[in-house]
Amino acid sequence: MSTSQNGAQTGLQSGITLPADHPLATADPNRSTAASPLITAYRGSTPSRTPVWFMRQAGRSLPEYRELRQGIGMLESCLQPELASEITLQPVRRHDVDAAIFFSDIVVPLRLAGVDVDIVPGTGPVLGSAVRTAADVAALPELTEESLEPIREAVRLTVAELGSTPLVGFAGAPFTVAAYMVEGGPSRDHLGPRTMMHADPQTWDALARWAADAAGKFLRAQLEAGASAGQLFDSWAGSLSLSDYQRYVQPHSTRALSYVSDLVGRDGQSVPLVHFGTGTSEILPLMRDAGASVMGVDYRLPLGEAHRRLGATPGPDGRGAVPLQGNIDPALLSAPWEVLEAHVREVVEAGRVAPGHVVNLGHGVPPSTDPQVLTRVVELIHSIRP
């Protein structure tokens, strides 16, 4: 049985300590991330400075990224370790953010497993053929440990350059990945997967389990190789009703996160796990109960209200409020500075109600964003006392 399979079955009971040279396990102060502002806030304590990073900070908003990517496809960029590492590092150098986010895409595990998928410019992920029947699911190839080596190598290269700045690992949540697979590409309303849940629940369950296992293995490879935290990203979960999420999706997100819930650092504390989705205000407690230690909040819900909803509804394990991540409105990055500054200050102040707060956007960095604005936002956040 592989460590990934073991993690999925045993979860927190294993308590596997990360390797001695891991940033959360090392005693080297120049490489340890355990006391970094990001990890401190993720664990519910007061950091030395208010931590901030941005989803999609590595990408099209940076001219150095566009220059580096010329003539190279998106998935090819993700699977070349040196290139993926360099792209991951670019915004850390430019913006002085408190974390790097691993440069990848939610369909990278599919490509590594051997699924026919590509990212079409202007469209997004497109599969060679949709996955809509029990036979289609049964024919899906398994994501092997060997196929994940380019990911581990990219993480190792990145962590070697980051020093005491943490790397956040990344994986697409089972529902979002399975939704792409059922539709064969992007969709506005995700009718295909939502129909399959009810019309053919056994096939849906098998597909979502496949996606959960792929996400869990993908995330574990990053964490074992040196990432200091992990984020499960559910782009489309906001399209679901509360009951559909609880019945058809939450168990699979739990399975994905269970692959990494047994990993602990040198201090015996678990690796922080963030769960984020867009349009998920009504299902935040269920997303937390899937196994997250930090909840990402999109721009639609004030942080104070997110804290109230989470704190007032303890999960099965008795937990209530958790540290929060978010939630600057990306649209305001192009607003006049005085408008953006006031909004950023409101977000930082609102986050004080939570046990810990990492400032981020309420979604990803728009490609049209002026990089100088992001740098200025980081400087502003760092000037505000935690």
- What does the pLDDT profile of the chain (386 residues) look like in tens digits? 344 444 443 333 458 889 999 999 999 999 999 999 999 999 999 999 999 999 999 999 999 999 999 999 999 999 999 999 999 999 999 999 999 999 999 999 999 999 999 999 889 999 999 999 999 999 999 999 999 999 999 999 999 999 999 999 999 999 999 999 999 998 888 999 999 999 999 999 999 999 999 999 999 999 999 999 999 999 999 999 999 999 999 999 999 999 999 999 999 999 999 999 999 999 999 999 999 999 999 999 999 999 999 986 776 666 778 999 999 999 999 999 999 999 999 999 999 999 999 999 999 999 999 999 999 999 999 999 99
User: Containing domain of residue 45, as a range?
Assistant: 3-383
Output the domain CATH number for residue 255.
3.20.20.210
Into how many domains does the chain fold? 1
Q: Is 220 known to be catalytic?
A: no
| Structural element, H or E, at residue 384 | none
Q: Are 90 and 58 in contact (CB under 8 A)?
A: yes
Q: How many angstroms separate the CA atoms of 196 and 17, rounded?
A: 40
**Whole-number Å distance between alpha carbons of 195 and 197:** 5
180 is catalytic: yes
> Does 69 participate in catalysis according to the annotation?
yes
Question: Residue 151 has what pLDDT?
Answer: 98
pLDDT at residue 12, rounded to an integer: 39
Q: Which of 65, 98, 105, 309 is catalytic?
A: 105
Q: Helices 250-258 and 3-10: crossing angle, nearest 10°?
A: 130
- Counting residues of the chain whose pLDDT is more than 90, the rounded percentage is 90
CA nearest to 367, candidates 173, 121, 71, 185 = 121
Residues 95, 360: Cα–Cα separation, whole Å: 13
Cβ neighbors of 95 (< 8 A, separation 6 or more) are 54, 57, 371, 374, 375, 378
Are residues 247 and 177 in contact, defined by beta-carbon separation less than 8 angstroms? no
Which residue in 31, 49, 60, 319 is the catalytic one?
60
Which residues make Cβ contacts (< 8 Å) with residue 194, sequence separation at least 6? Answer: 239, 240, 244
Active site residue 60: yes
- Number of other residues whose CB lies within 10 A of the CB of residue 342: 13
Q: CB atoms < 10 A from the CB of 128, how many?
A: 9
d(CA 175, CA 248): 9
Give residue-wise pLDDT tens across range 247-289.
999 999 999 999 999 999 999 999 999 999 999 999 999 999 9
CA atoms in the 13 A half-sphere facing the CB of 139? 10
Q: Using one digit for the tens of pLDDT, what is the confidence trace for 191-213?
A: 999 999 999 999 999 999 999 99
Structure-token pair, residue 52? 């901030």
pLDDT at 230: 98
Is residue 251 within 8 Å of 286, Cβ to Cβ?
no
Q: Of 31, 69, 152, 266, which is the active-site residue?
A: 69
Separation CA 151–CA 315 (nearest Å): 33
DSSP per-residue letters across 349-364:
HHHTTSS-EEB-BSSP
Annotated active-site residue in 42, 43, 56, 111: 56
pLDDT score recorded for residue 11: 38
E strand map for the chain: 16-17, 100-101, 117-120, 124-127, 167-172, 229-234, 263-264, 273-277, 294-296, 324-325, 357-358
Cα 269 from Cα 263, distance rounded (Å): 8
Looking up tokens 């996955």, which residue turns up? 131
**370 labelled catalytic:** no
User: Which of 65, 94, 111, 180 is the catalytic position?
Assistant: 180
Model pLDDT, residue 321: 86
Residue with the two structure tokens 């009951």: 243
SS3 170: strand
